[in-house]
Structure 1
Amino acid sequence: MSATYDVVIVGGGIAGLSLASALAGQCSVALVEAEQTLGYHSSGRSARQLIPSYGPPLVQELTLRTLELIAARDGTRPEPVLSPRSFMLIGDDASVRERASGHMHPITHARAMELCPVLNPDAFSAAGLDTGSYACDAPQLLEDHRERAEAGGVDIITGAGVHSAQRLGSGWELGAGQEGFQAAVVVNAAGAWADQLAVLSGVEKLGLQPYRRTAATADVDRPLPAATPMVAAADDSFYFRRDGARVLISPSESVPSGPEDAQPYPGDVEALIARLNTLTTLGIRGVHKAWTGLRTQAADGLPVVGFDAEATGFFWLAGQGGYGFQTSSALAELAAGMILAGQGRGQGRGQGRGQGRGQDTVPPAGAARAPGPASRTAEALAATRWSIRR
């Protein structure tokens, strides 16, 4: 017998977990994750930096709102998720000017060398600095969302890959792992597997493309001081930042991939180390750990959030690209509002895995909501996307 919920979220990365915590206590929710561990794929392989000047204008707006929401929660935590860490862009005058935004200001070459004295002064001619950037404790943020979700009654089931999905009356029926689920709304937060889930569900895919991004932590002869900014090349050829006594480095590659448990290609990290040892005086000696994540995005590079126009009750929360943590809380706020307004859904019965929660059904479509950051985000998205299918 299938368990019945208002909403089933497919995907236990930062997108699915943040939505689960936003919906918790407001309707009955299950989250299913194919892996045994939450945040196993891209969410567990993050650069752990939230940068307001990074990405297109819409992503920057989502980043600012995400920072507001996380900072508000940090006031209630013994250990904050966010800690200040500036972001510095280096390159030639034209490339830095092209990449700089309103959240980044130009700085002199001398100032850049003061902030990061390990740089080879001949390696760049221009720099920009984003002082509103923050380091993010990604594991703690994931855990906070999990705790909030479960405290609000969300059932989280790991090791449960979705193997069947179909429309059933006014809702959906899913098979995941050894269990069955019925729901009015299915949320596709499956990351690199989002298009695969759509096809499995009989929904037209959107052409979301995963891209590889490799990173590593390495031992160095010259550790970076705690106040050193994260440094990135304006041509997207590398970044590095302090990681305790080590340094985190990345070639910032963007290589198309299929959905998979991505692993570093032989030689990629070694080539980056050789280059950084000419551009800096870090003295990188060897790799401590290396990994590769997948950054999945739509053709226009913007997140996909909303009900599918052609598949009632199928909600997309995917295509965050390399901006998953940056946009997560803002997109969850927006998505929760859309789902709770009842758009594109039937009435769930509010019963979880064999136990009724006694919750009311979610508000009907068109229910009034006070204007706020979520509606501003919706307006920004609407200006770019008329619907999930244009």
Structure 2
Amino acid sequence: MAAQYDVLIVGGGIAGLSLASALAGTCSVALVEAEQDLAYHSSSRSARQLHVHGPEVVQQLTLRSLELLAARDAELPEPVLSPRSFMLIGSEDAVRAEAGGTLQPITHARALELCPVLVPESFAAAGLDEGSFGCDARLLIADHRARAEAAGADIITGARVHSAQRLGSGWEIGAGQEGFQAAVLVNAAGAWADELAVISGVEKLGLQPYRRTAAIADVEHSLPEGSPMVAAADNSFYFRRERAGVLISPSEAVPSGPEDARPRPGDIERLIEKLNQVTTLGIRGVRSAWTGLRTEAADGLPVAGFDAEAPGFYWLAGQGGYGLQISPAMAELAAAQILAGQGAAQGQEPRAQGQDPRADTGPGPESRTAEAVAATRWSIRR
């Protein structure tokens, strides 16, 4: 007999886990993940840097997420956030185009003071965001799981979805060796989100995964503790301190199919050659290297909302390279909308499309963020 839940979440990355954590305790929730480990693909392979950038909607989501994470850190002994500034370097035009908001221009001399391994001739201008943070992704992922399970959510790994169909007023899903029934099916499958839609008989959205490679390198000259993360304005690299070594990335965005991505021959070697030209790090070798997938919609905005053509099918995908920094706010809003949708299904008065499900609590940060998201793509195919 199929296990029954109010909400079944497909995908154990940061999007699905944060939603399970937000929903658990308010309704019955299960999360299924195809891999044996949670957050196996993209969420555990990110740069783990949270700073306010990107489209306006993403910036609003980031600000709200930072509020939520700061509130979490105030209650628990192990903080998820740690201050780590972000510095952008490049031509004057390129840096000027990115300046504004939290990223402010700084002098060439100040940039060299903050990151003394930079070769002075390798850049003309710099900008600094002093309000950005490093994020302990492993701790955050473990925290979401612990909170979800403590509140009664079931998390099942090694269970790839192989069937899903609309049945009566809900969904019937086959994952691994088990069957599930749920009123709401949440598509938080990351790079596999369009594939899950096809399995479910739902029109796919054309979400595109992109490769992003990174490595931990040994260096002759370490970065000082407290150094900013440094990124090229032309998106050709970034690097930051990682314990005694340096985390480096060519910052590529190469289209890919959904896969267990791996570094391609030459990617890291070319990056090391470049970084040894623009810095005095003296990269000697690589301890480990990996590649993650950043999945995006055509307009680069996160995808969230019920599919208008498939009742009870909720999209939570396309968070691109912003997953860690927007997931708390996305989960807060998605949980509110799912619960409001459940209420409407049970005979309560439905809310207007795009209206914040918590609007009656006053104009807090949640409603401001919901308003920003509603202006772009809060509901799918309307």
> Structure 1 length as normaliser, TM-score?
0.94
Alignment root-mean-square deviation, CA:
1.4
Seen in structure 2, the aligned counterparts of structure 1 residues 130 and 238 have a Cα distance that, compared at 3 Å, is same
Alpha-carbon distance between aligned partners in 1 of 2:33 and 2:349, rounded to the nearest angstrom = 28
Specify the alignment match of 2:296 in structure 1.
297
Which residue is 1:75 aligned to? 74
Q: Which residue of 2 aligns with 1:25?
A: 25
Q: Contact 1:214/1:251 (CA < 8 Å) preserved in 2?
A: yes
The answer for unaligned runs of 5 or more in structure 2 is: 352-356
- The residue number in structure 2 matching 1:251 is 250
In structure 2, C-alpha distance between the alignment counterparts of 1:98 and 1:256, rounded to whole Å: 25
> In 2, distance between residues paired with 1:222 and 1:64?
35
1:389 pairs with 2:376? no
Q: Deviations over 1:343-372 (max 9, x none)?
A: 69745xxxxxxxxxxxxxx97643764132
Counterpart of 1:47 in structure 2: which amino acid? Answer: A
1:69-108 counterparts in 2 under 5 A? 69-108=68-107
Partners of 1:365 and 1:387 lie apart in 2 by: 15
Secondary structure of the 2:58 match is helix
1:379 aligns with one of 350, 361, 371: 371
Alpha-carbon distance in 1 for matches of 2:101, 2:276: 32
3-state DSSP class of the match of 1:289? strand
> Is 2:85–2:129's contact at 8 Å kept on the other side of the alignment?
yes
Aligned position for 1:355: none
Q: Match for residue 160 of structure 2?
A: 161
Partner Cα distance (1:344, 1:166) in 2: 22
**Where does residue 188 of structure 2 map in the other structure?**
189
Q: Is the 8 A contact 2:50 2:324 kept in 1?
A: yes
Identity of aligned residues (%): 75
Q: Equivalents in 1 of 2:70, 2:378: separation in Å?
A: 31
Does the CA contact (< 8 Å) of 1:342 and 1:364 recur in 2?
no
| 1:69-92 residue CA offsets vs partner (Å, 9 max, x unmatched) | 011000111110100000000001
Other-structure match for 2:307 = 308
Task: State whether structure 2 residue 170 is matched by structure 1 residue 179.
Answer: no
Distance between the aligned counterparts of 2:46 and 2:325, measured in 1?
11
Contact 2:305/2:378 (8 A) holds in 1? no
1:353 maps to which residue? none
CA contact (8 A) 1:7 1:27 kept: yes
- Range moving further from structure 2, 244-253 or 363-372: 363-372
What is the deviation of 1:96?
0.5
| SS of equivalent to 1:384 | coil
What is the SS of the residue equivalent to 1:186?
A: strand
Cα deviation 1:303-331 (Å, max 9, x = unaligned):
00110011000000000000000100000
TM-score w.r.t. length of structure 2: 0.96
- Where does residue 262 of structure 1 map in the other structure? 261
For 1:246, give the aligned amino acid: G
1:186-242: CA deviation from partner (whole Å, max 9, x where unpaired): 000000000000010000000000000000000000011111000000011100000
SS of the residue corresponding to residue 159 of structure 2 reads coil
Q: How many residues align?
A: 375
Name the CA distance, whole Å, in 2 between partners of 1:250 and 1:164: 37
Q: 1:370 pairs with 349, 354, 361, which one?
A: 361
Cα drift, residue 57 of structure 1: 1.5
Q: Which runs of 5+ in 1 are unaligned?
A: 348-361
Amino acid at match of 2:273: A
Instruction: Tell whether the 8 Å contact from 1:340 to 1:363 is kept in structure 2 after alignment.
Output: no
1:339–1:143 Cα change, 3 Å: same
How far off is 1:249 after superposition? 0.3
Contact 1:341 1:364 in 2 (8 A): no
Query: Which residue in 1 is equivalent to 2:285?
Result: 286
Instruction: Report the residue type matching 2:127 in the other structure.
Output: G
Which amino acid in the other structure matches residue 34 of structure 2?
A: A
User: What amino acid does structure 1 have at the position aligned with 2:369?
Assistant: T
> Take 2:122 and 2:7, find their aligned partners in 1: how far apart are those partners?
52
Partner of 1:358: none
